[in-house]
Structure 1
């Protein structure tokens, strides 16, 4: 790799890191190119050169963050226990790093149903649904998708709704552990119900 190529990749990485922080804190509308460039220590013209504009930079940030999350927190094992374990590990991940929940919050708030990086994100989501079906044999694709969005909603809410969480359940030192236990328990019960339903004879479900 030539020095110029190395510098280009390093500059892109610095800009993405600064942009991720800016978008997580201020969203798409509130983010400023000048602040991102200053935080990265890079001329702002490089943002336009490498990413196009602020919207395109946000696209790159969210696709990159969500792709990393898919790899970092896989579904492992079989049965309702596997889905409950996945929920617990996803909750733990978001407690340490709230990047993905915050970006998804801003995306939903500012863009509604508009989805960036559609092919890649569709493939990632399909892979997660397939992993859920593998963990819960017989569960329909629709039910697997519903279970996954339930897990994501439960885990993503913790870092983006802290005030509401405190009002409803308190802010004692053990709150995070109690919230995690509630998420794991809820997901286990939901997954167990789906697994049991999937094993019922077709005529009894009609």
Structure 2
């Protein structure tokens, strides 16, 4: 198998696994369905990723890298950063589902993904520097402010269906522009 073929197989497995894990989590995902959707076989999953958990970690790592690369932080304009992060979640609805499965099924594994640790540490440093430069208020610590911004950006994609049912009938809350505007306004309010 050529390097190009191997990379294409690996990519197909990651794409298929992303959909499978988003739908079923780690425990519910089936490697035979992933292999079939990727037009591959189970042996390739174990060859490239070692285990189903290893495949999930690779999917989650790739998703995190994609998000970090696509949505760089702008500490001087955290409301717009939150809006762009919201847009990213809306464009890739599987992100919040995978993050929920990760919290539920991998949180106690003792494994912290370097890409997430490094990204969060860099964001905290950037927010601290912006606070020190007087670009944004220091009402919240850099760690707390980052957490609030991240959670507000994912607000609309992490609600329970009962809230969504109420919000849908409440003045256009199901409209993408409205949702983004709420996220941006909420972060602006944090910074007042």
Whether these two folds match at TM > 0.5 is yes
Deviation at 1:66, TM superposition (A): 0.5
In the comparison of the two structures, how many residue pairs are matched? Answer: 186
Within the candidate set 155, 158, 177, 1:160 is matched to 158
Tell me the residue number matched to 1:170. Answer: 168
Is the deviation greater in 181-190 or in 6-15? 181-190
Conserved in 2, the CA contact under 8 Å of 1:28 and 1:55? Answer: yes
SS of the residue 2:100 aligns to:
helix
Q: What stretches of structure 1 of length at least 5 have no aligned partner?
A: 193-206
TM-score (norm 2): 0.86
> What CA deviation, in whole Å up to 9, does each residue of 1:71-109 have, x standing for no partner?
11112362xxx0001111111111111232111111112
- How far apart are the structure 1 equivalents of 2:181 and 2:108? 31
Provide closer, same or farther for how the CA distance between residues 164 and 152 of structure 1 changes in structure 2, counting only shifts above 3 A: farther
> What CA deviation, in whole Å up to 9, does each residue of 1:32-60 have, x standing for no partner?
00000000000111000110010010011
SS of the residue 2:41 aligns to:
coil
- How far apart are the structure 2 equivalents of 1:157 and 1:29? 26
Conserved in 2, the CA contact under 8 Å of 1:73 and 1:89? Answer: yes
Is residue 2:28 matched to residue 1:30? yes
- How far apart are the structure 1 equivalents of 2:115 and 2:65? 8
Where do 4+ consecutive residues of structure 1 move more than 6 Å? none
TM-score (norm 1): 0.80
Is the deviation greater in 91-100 or in 176-185? 176-185
Show the 5 A alignment for 1:11-26. 11-26=9-24
Conserved in 1, the CA contact under 8 Å of 2:86 and 2:154? Answer: yes
Tell me the residue number matched to 1:185. Answer: 185
Tell me the residue number matched to 1:125. Answer: 120
- How far apart are the structure 2 equivalents of 1:28 and 1:86? 30
Is residue 2:53 matched to residue 1:97? no
Is the deviation greater in 58-67 or in 123-132? 123-132
Taking only aligned residues, the RMSD between alpha carbons, in angstroms, comes to 2.2
SS of the residue 1:127 aligns to:
helix
- How far apart are the structure 1 equivalents of 2:55 and 2:23? 15
Tell me the residue number matched to 1:199. Answer: none
Deviation at 1:70, TM superposition (A): 0.7
Q: Greater CA radius of gyration, 1 or 2? A: 1
Q: What stretches of structure 2 of length at least 5 have no aligned partner?
A: none
